[in-house]
Structure 1
Amino acid sequence: MLAGDHAPFFPVPKAEKGSGTSLASRPTLTVDLSAVGANTRHLSRITQGEVMAVVKADAFGHGAAQVARTALAHGATRLGVTSLAEALALRAERVYAPVLSWLNPVDADWARAVRVGVELAVPSLEHLAAIATLAPGATVHLHLDCGMARDGAEPALWPALCAAARRAEQLGLVRVAGLMGHLSCADVPGDASSTIGRATFDWGVRVARDAGLDPAHRHLAATAATLNDPLSHHTTVRVGAGLFGIDPSGAGRMRPTLTLTAPLIGLRRVGAGTAVGYGQTWTAPTTTQLGLIGVGYADGLPRSASNRAQVLVRGVRRPLVGKISMDMAVIDLGEEGARMGDVVTVFGPGAAGEPTVAEWASWAGTIEHEIMTGLGPRLARARSGGRS
């Protein structure tokens, strides 16, 4: 008799009727583009200038091209990224809005960037010389360090950079379209460093104008300053985190954009004293049911949130117990239990009681930005509520 003539040795469980789930479902990250649109509209309303939507790091893991189109449809007029590779990827997706790239080595492929209309940040004399030589006609934004001691020209070198940029502009080698800076503590309203940073940028604008430059775009404020500090807005604001519901002001004015779900793929009942996971860092205090989801730190769940994080199962928050592993995490389901294939909400907007990305960041001792950008490629991606 053929093996296929036999019934399975173990019965195959079925999804609960009406649950909309199955054992074939995968861990899925859903991006709510309608929330991206709403956040863009809000940010556009609170500034008099243009909104540059920052879609670096694949739009914080949300999908750069999709987020770019959504933001542009809801009030953004320009785009920002770090590397040329990110800018070129947008062009490959037929996103043709103005895009600025601001973090590149001196030997970047400047000519290719200019051929597809990418604007370039200039943080040093070396960058300016390379762009003027290899990509004549480039549109540039001079970048001033306003107190972070990382990217941007040091204030002591700024007058020389402005003078050199003006000479290059007169020769037709570049067009200086913008000046840019960044504030270090804009998430703290009234912080003294913001006052100093604003003053440094204002000085930088005066120096540029004294050198004969007349840039149309002046941008200092990122999301936190856009929300907290109207004095920093100038002609343009750069918003990245705010597009995705991150509100450094803590006012709760932004809509969360991500939901991560995963099916239960394992269940077991254990007795009191049963230890769970690497290092046996959690032990069941009583008889309970444990559930397994196939999501771990390789997918972006921070291991540092072990034994602190919670998830939502059947409308009730349940703790993750034991160390979060590379590929899986264990849930203490308690006495009420659950069924194989039940969908677990790892995080979401919070409207149904599920944890949010902000809570996960708190449990891990980090920021929402790191959680979002760390979500791995094994997660299936889905989008809802907007342009794709």
Structure 2
Amino acid sequence: MTPQAELVVDLDVYRQNLDVLRRLAPGAQQMAVVKANGYGHGMVPMARAARDAGAEWLGVATAEEALALRSAGDSGPVLCWLAAPGAPFAELIDQDIEVTASSAEQLEEILAAAPRRPRVQLKVDTGLSRNGARFGPDWTALVHAAARAQALGRVAVTGVWSHFACADEPGNPATDEQEKVFRSAVDELSAAGVDPGTRHLCNSAGVLTQPSAHLDLVRVGIASYGIAPDAAVPVPGVRPVLTARARLAHVKDVEAGARVSYGYRWQAEHATRLGLVPVGYGEGIHRTASNRAEVGFAGGRLPVRGTICMDQFVVELGDVPAQRGDIVTLFGPGDDGEPSVEDWAVAAGTIGYEIVTRLAGRWARTYRGER
């Protein structure tokens, strides 16, 4: 049976995107970031496709994500980086997952939990002011703690890394400043007798806008899924991996003056025809796109009319022929004129990242190009 609502993920396109991004940073290893359920695309299928494409590393945020990769059979290098106190460091280390220490305190927690010598990467905060040891006294404390632990044979420091704040804003001086701070942090680590190992700083935007920071490894996330980090940072050669589509559940004619959906936020100016799309914010469709977004249909686009609901929303067909069961495309690669993820992001007042990572609920998922 044809699904009522379907996410179609093209794994061949994903592999091709990774190849394009590798050619933009040919001297660096590649980490395919598959956190947040593979940016809404499905973590395990994307991870397998990334390995097929030659990605040396997989990157995830949480311990649970890293362990799920191991449970699914992945045995290659994996880095996770976001852990509150009490994280299952013993299990992570036992599964040969590399973990991140963002403070001297966290490093000690990792060491205390470790069943054997852990492989740890150190994160320095170079200006984003999120995770990581702030460059200065906090970083120095982490460096000294790592040097002491290394001298005692308690840790293998395998990398040092940080994250850009403004790499999606070409020419922003903050990016050069962060790279400068990062290089100083690496020098401090080396001066303490600790080999920095794998140095990495670039996210998707950084790969495009800051080639001097490609270093040993680049972390490719949003761009690998065919979505630009920002309108100012297009990614030549990549294509959207995901198509979201649904079958019309109902078609009806309405008279002039008919009011549509909760709050009557849209009213027909003339007699027209409406179609009911059976997905809503229960599937992660942004309610803020009400009356602003469009869907693709029959080589053109149809406007969303009225408030997007939990399970459904309405589009105006006008005089376009349609019947129940016909497929509308919310977003995709644009080959048939349908909107992009970025188009929906503009309509919803957000960014492409949020459009795809919020996809949940009752979608069927179809993967093309599985090997």
Give the TM bin, normalised by the shorter chain: over 0.9
Could you tell which deviates more after superposition, 249-258 or 211-220?
249-258
Is the CA contact 2:3–2:364 (under 8 Å) kept in the aligned structure 1?
no
Alignment map for 1:36-55 (pairs within 5 Å): 36-47=14-25, 48-55=27-34
Question: RMSD between aligned alpha carbons?
Answer: 1.2
Q: Distance in 2 between matches of 1:352 and 1:290?
A: 21
Structure 1 partner of 2:82: 103
Q: 1:179 aligns with which of 160, 168, 174?
A: 160
Q: Structure 1, residues 157-215: CA drift from partner, whole Å, max 9, x if none?
A: 11121111011012121100000101100011121100110011000000000010112
Q: Structure 1, residues 126-182: CA drift from partner, whole Å, max 9, x if none?
A: 111111111040000100001111100011211121111011012121100000101
Q: Structure 1, residues 100-127: CA drift from partner, whole Å, max 9, x if none?
A: 0100013211111111001000001111
Alignment map for 1:282-321 (pairs within 5 Å): 282-321=266-305
Question: Do structure 1's residue 143 and structure 2's residue 123 form an aligned pair?
Answer: yes
Structure 1 partner of 2:252: 268
Structure 2 partner of 1:358: 342
Q: Structure 1, residues 210-265: CA drift from partner, whole Å, max 9, x if none?
A: 01011220000011001111011110011111111122212443210110111111
Could you tell which deviates more after superposition, 87-96 or 45-54?
45-54
Q: Structure 1, residues 298-332: CA drift from partner, whole Å, max 9, x if none?
A: 11111111111111122221111000011101010
Is the CA contact 2:342–2:352 (under 8 Å) kept in the aligned structure 1?
yes
Q: Structure 1, residues 258-278: CA drift from partner, whole Å, max 9, x if none?
A: 101111111110111101011
Structure 2 partner of 1:80: 59
The residue type paired with residue 53 of structure 2 is H
SS in 1 for 2:296: strand
Question: Do structure 1's residue 335 and structure 2's residue 315 form an aligned pair?
Answer: no
> Would the alpha carbon gap of residues 252 and 365 (structure 1) be closer, same or farther in structure 2, given more than 3 Å must change?
farther
Q: Distance in 1 between matches of 2:219 and 2:276?
A: 41
Q: 4+ residue stretches of structure 1 with deviation over 4 A?
A: none
Structure 2 partner of 1:34: 12
> Would the alpha carbon gap of residues 139 and 334 (structure 1) be closer, same or farther in structure 2, given more than 3 Å must change?
same
Q: 2:191 aligns with which of 187, 190, 210?
A: 210
Structure 2 partner of 1:61: 40
CA shift, 1:45, in A, is 1.1
Q: Structure 1, residues 338-383: CA drift from partner, whole Å, max 9, x if none?
A: 1111111111100110111110011111111101010013100001
The residue type paired with residue 69 of structure 1 is R
Q: Distance in 1 between matches of 2:353 and 2:156?
A: 33
The residue type paired with residue 173 of structure 1 is R
Give % identity.
Answer: 42
Q: Which structure has the greater CA radius of gyration?
A: 1
Q: Distance in 2 between matches of 1:257 and 1:149?
A: 32
Q: Distance in 1 between matches of 2:364 and 2:320?
A: 29
Is the CA contact 2:80–2:100 (under 8 Å) kept in the aligned structure 1?
yes
Is the CA contact 1:289–1:337 (under 8 Å) kept in the aligned structure 2?
no
CA shift, 1:386, in A, is 3.8
SS in 2 for 1:126: helix
The residue type paired with residue 71 of structure 1 is A
CA shift, 1:26, in A, is 1.4
Any gaps of 5 or more consecutive residues in structure 2? none
